[in-house]
Amino acid sequence: MNDRIAELTRTIDDSDTKLKRAREELSRIRSSCLHQWGPVRDCSEYKPAYDIPGDPPGTMGVDWRPGCHVPAQTIEKWQRTCRLCGLTETTTETNQQVTHTPRFR
């Protein structure tokens, strides 16, 4: 084997080991952090509408597929980041709150 190839292979293996140790240490630090969450940011994703073309005319077989329109969609997402350890959490889940207010007649 070429000396340069052996050297690069060792460098990659050493880097992989260092990366694994750093990730483990970061995970350990973040799991013991008393998170102080910053403000919640809206990071919703918008997917524009598009059309899926169907099979061209004249190919009317048993498995013929017509065209299809896919409507635009907004995926609501929110994100928060810990001020101490930099952990970022992203969620698409929400809590539904039902509030009752008195109605006077």
* pLDDT, tens only, 63-101: 778 889 999 999 999 999 999 999 999 998 888 888 888
DSSP 56: P
Q: Would you say how long the chain is, in residues?
A: 105
What is the reported pLDDT for 64?
78
- Work out the mean pLDDT of the chain and round it to a whole number: 90
Per-residue pLDDT of 14-28, as tens digits, reads 999 999 999 999 999
What is the reported pLDDT for 1?
67
89: three-class secondary structure by DSSP: strand
Give the span between the Cα atoms of 81 and 78, in whole angstroms.
Answer: 11
How many CB atoms sit inside 10 A of residue 37's CB?
A: 12
The answer to whether 40 and 76 are in contact (CB under 8 A) is no
Q: Within 13 Å, how many C-alpha atoms sit on residue 77's CB side? A: 12
